[in-house]
Amino acid sequence: MDKYICLHSIKKVAEEIKSLEADCALLKSISARKIQDKLKELRATLEILTNDILKITIQEVEDEK
């Protein structure tokens, strides 16, 4: 995955998490549970993307040596 695409994806996922957390705080219903499930999925995606960008960055540093 391209470094800039990965960084852009991280930003988008983080923004969506923040938005859903705000929505969830306003809801106390089944909808809130659905949002919490989506948040769990997005956090997992964010972790994967963060690991990808870390691997890319490490590889770039090693390539420069």
Crossing angle of the two packed helices 3-26 and 30-64, in degrees rounded to 10: 160
pLDDT per residue as tens, the chain (65 positions): 677 888 888 888 888 888 888 877 777 666 777 878 888 898 898 889 888 888 888 888 888 88
The helix (H) or strand (E) run that includes residue 57 is: helix 30-64
Q: What pLDDT does residue 31 have?
A: 73
Angle at 28 between CA 26 and CA 31, to 5 degrees: 90
Alpha-carbon 9 to chain mean position:
7
CB atoms within 10 A of CB 13: 20
